[in-house]
Amino acid sequence: MNHWRDALRDKRVAISGSILLIFIIAAFGAPPLAALFGIDPDTVDLYHRLAAPSLLHPLGTDEIGRDLLFRLLEGGRVSLLVGIVAALVAAVFGTAMGLIAGYCGGRLDAALMRFTDGVIALPLLPLLVVLAALDLKKLGIPSVIIDSPAISIERIIVLVAIVGWTTVARIVRGATLSLKSRDFVRAAVALGASSPRVMLVHILPNLASPIIVATTLAVGETILLESVLSFLGLGVAPPIPSWGNMLTTAQETIALAPQLALYPGLLIFITVIACNFLGDGLQDALDPRAQHRTLPVSNAAVEKAP
Amino acid sequence: MTRFVSTRLLQMIVVIAIMSFIIYALIGLMPGDPIDLMISSNPRLSPADALRLKALYGLDKPLIERYFAWAHAALTGDFGYSRLYLQPVLNVLVPRLGNTAVLMGASLFCAYMLALPLGIIAARRPGSAVDGAVNLVCFAGISVPSFWLALMLILVFAATLGWLPAGGVETIGDGSLPDRLRHLVLPVTTLTLVSMGSHLRYIRAAMIETLRQDYIRTARAKGAGEFRVLAGHALRNALIPVVTVLALSFGNLFSGALITETMFAYPGMGKLIYDSILGNDFNLALAGLLVATVMVLVGNLAADIAYSAIDPRIAYR
């Protein structure tokens, strides 16, 4: 556990970790706070559209007179939620892939890693645009689920998780390979432990730090992807706000109110860069001997998005 | 070497075949279908007519049969007709490929022109203030949402300062080279900034690794100048891993081009794919996605071959 204390001493970890923590607390604390002040972030006030910052509206109002600060916090709640949940889904799938590939080795390893490399090399964004445009009815998903208001959120979580798992799989496979030859694993095998038992009981707990690093990096990646798809109108759908789709409407009023376009993008930028610095710092602190450093790939995956 | 290339080519063809089927199936799952679109534009069509049309176009057949019919036609160069552009798909696609190649080529060139010197300067003293600053640039490039960066560039340089055009490839009525170049500045800047980060990190990491080698110390001991050591001895070897990243970045660059092209209304492949998907232009979307996939796979193969050409230690069997 000393590693964790080291990690906190790392400036990158401390600063980016605090920023993320503040964002999460602010975003998830916004609804009760709004209720406390008697502000309804969804109230439309056409007489005060695009108002300048005031005491009542610290950042002013948006194109239909809603309080911008609360809209940003609401949007942040959705963006952070989608990013974190998608990264966790990706982490579970990626860990399974990496663990099986690394432990079993041989042909299975080659096949799984070829598949992973193949996914990484594809032009993912164009394919994601297709996946986002699919007609869920044709997939045979019951209309009760399709017509629910949260479907755009559930859908985007699945979509970005499809991209996020590759980072985790590669990191976990690398760590599994080096653990496999350690004495305690060989002892377990010699004592007759079954492969699933060795993987789950002996190797998996020791993968905690690489998985945490990979998941942190994946959060940055998923938030960036969510914002791109939502911006293009293929992700989180209005009226649910997210930082990405707030920029879509801001684009239309950009000549009148550039601040509407500035804030959401700046928040995405800060969040993603904080996730990447946090992941990078944690990697240095938790796994100082890591030979193959994994680089954050957010834009590399979107552009790398992007 | 020949054997390696031919095996890889064969693998690539299999991957393309699988991908084309997946893409074909996915396009079929998109909302609406061609017959519905025809009916909506001609209210006099009866349900019986619709059924006849379905049979005429073979849409009543199972997926696999339709795929083979499409693939057969595609192999002879017939990708069908574009609904949005009212032209054969290939006539729409080919000019767009050239535009995207210009955009991607220019961005890649600029990205390396910036990343190489920065990466080398950072690698000379890892942990120094310069290194820290370069690291910050890396992370900023990797983390910035490209569509927002594009929006901000348009806001500052096109809307506020009025220095550069906000989009398109040329001013109507003026197609001169300087005019076209002016239209390229903002899209290329966007794509350069977002793709530079990952290249820069790899160059820096590879240079640090190389500068630790004995032959660098030997070169220094023999009195080689700093520039000669860095450019002549270290960089050549450091570039080997960088080539791999270049290959992997091909797909990413293409995805990045989709956003950049859409933001700047630049008529390239990325924007074409996006427009065709949103506009229910199934034939065009299918061909566009397939071409994008093939381009990426060919890029990867080219890099693998270049890899062995640069590094004689790597022999392919």
- Supply the mean pLDDT for chain A: 80
Q: Is the dihedral of CA A17, A19, A20, A26 positive or negative?
A: positive
Q: Which residues from chain A sit within 8 angstroms of residue B297, using beta carbons?
A: 121
**CA of B28 to nearest chain A CA: how many angstroms apart?**
9
Could B143 and A127 be called an inter-chain contact, meaning their C-beta atoms sit closer than 8 Å? Answer: no
Q: Does B248 touch chain A (CB under 8 A)?
A: yes
**CA of A76 to nearest chain B CA: how many angstroms apart?**
15
Question: Under DSSP, is residue A147 helix (H, G, I), strand (E, B) or coil?
Answer: coil
* Dist CA A281 CA A277 (whole Å): 6
Pairing verdict, β B87-88 and B81-82: antiparallel
Could A276 and B139 be called an inter-chain contact, meaning their C-beta atoms sit closer than 8 Å? Answer: yes
* Dist CA B304 CA B38 (whole Å): 46
**CA of A100 to nearest chain B CA: how many angstroms apart?**
23
Window 5-64 of B, Cβ < 8 Å to A: 15, 19, 23, 26-32
pLDDT at B239 over 90: no
| Residue A245 near residue A238 (C-beta atoms within 8 A) | yes
What pLDDT does residue A38 have?
67
- Residue of B31, B159, B252 with shortest CB distance to A301: B252
* Dist CA A83 CA A221 (whole Å): 8
- Tell me what percent of the residues of chain B surpass a pLDDT of 70: 94
Tokens of B163: 């220095």
Q: Which residue blocks in chain A are alpha helix, DSSP H? A: 2-9, 11-37, 68-104, 106-121, 124-133, 143-146, 151-180, 183-190, 195-197, 208-231, 243-252, 258-286, 298-302
Distances (CA, A) of A9 to A18, A124, B133: 13, 37, 20
- Residue of A122, A138, A265 with shortest CB distance to B145: A265
What pLDDT does residue A271 have?
92
Could B296 and A268 be called an inter-chain contact, meaning their C-beta atoms sit closer than 8 Å? Answer: no
Q: Does B291 touch chain A (CB under 8 A)?
A: no
What pLDDT does residue A284 have?
79
Distances (CA, A) of A73 to A43, B51, B234: 15, 51, 49
pLDDT at A275 over 50: yes
- Tell me what percent of the residues of chain A surpass a pLDDT of 90: 9
Could B255 and A139 be called an inter-chain contact, meaning their C-beta atoms sit closer than 8 Å? Answer: no
Strand partners of residue A61: A67
Instruction: Give the pLDDT mean for B119-142.
Output: 86
Q: Single out the residue of A58, A65, A16, A68 nearest to residue A243, CA to CA.
A: A68
Q: Which of A11, A20, A299, A302 to mutate to test the interface with B (most CBs of B within 10 A)?
A: A299
Could B155 and A227 be called an inter-chain contact, meaning their C-beta atoms sit closer than 8 Å? Answer: no
Strand partners of residue A67: A61
pLDDT at B35 over 60: yes
Q: Does B225 touch chain A (CB under 8 A)?
A: no
What was the ipTM of the complex prediction? Answer: 0.82
Which amino acid is located at A293 in the chain?
Answer: R
pLDDT digits (tens, 9 = 90+) for B268-283: 888 888 888 888 888 8
**CA of B174 to nearest chain A CA: how many angstroms apart?**
26
Question: With bands split at pLDDT 50, 70 and 90, how would you rate the model's confidence at A301?
Answer: very low
- Supply the mean pLDDT for chain B: 81
Q: Does B145 touch chain A (CB under 8 A)?
A: yes
Q: Which residues from chain A sit within 8 angstroms of residue B256, using beta carbons?
A: 125, 299, 302-306
Nearest chain B residue to A131, by CA: B26
Question: With bands split at pLDDT 50, 70 and 90, how would you rate the model's confidence at A304?
Answer: very low
What pLDDT does residue A93 have?
93
- Residue of B139, B141, B247 with shortest CB distance to A277: B139
pLDDT at A103 over 80: yes
